[in-house]
Amino acid sequence: MTAHHLPVTIDKRGKVYYDDGLSLEELDVIAGVVKVYTGLHSQTEDASWWPRHSAWVRAGAYTGIWTPWQEHWFLERHQGILAGRERPLNATEWKDRLKGFKKAGLLADRVAKASWDFTLRNFVQATDAQQ
């Protein structure tokens, strides 16, 4: 897999900080994305054993920390897969399954905004207009 290093912050002294990221293709591998037949001739759609990153983010499940509730959900899903009770789900099915994460996502959005504001105020190099 390819490592992607994205500059995310430049502090007041001009020092650049980097964050490691994954490509969408790499995120799909982690989610276990597979092609499945829809039942309409030879038409296929993407399905995945785990939520794709985009579904996880849209549902509000991506809060930046792994909570006990998420761990419980993960273990239940994993046991269902091992027992043959679970199958890969398409985007609509994942949307329905992840509805309970919405409130956590709203909180995470507010924390992310406050964190970004703090970073801008305290670490990002001031522009000429700010000096």
Per-residue pLDDT tens digits for 21-46: 788 899 999 999 999 999 899 999 99
Q: Is 32 exposed, middle or buried (0-12, 13-18, 19+ CB in 10 A)?
A: middle
Per-residue pLDDT tens digits for 58-100: 877 777 778 888 899 999 999 999 999 999 999 999 988 888 7
> What is the separation of C-alpha 26 from the centre of its chain, rounded to a whole number of angstroms?
12
- Nearest Cα neighbor of 56 from 22, 28, 87, 26 is 28
CB 73 within 8 A of CB 113: no
Residue 5, classed as helix, strand or coil, is strand
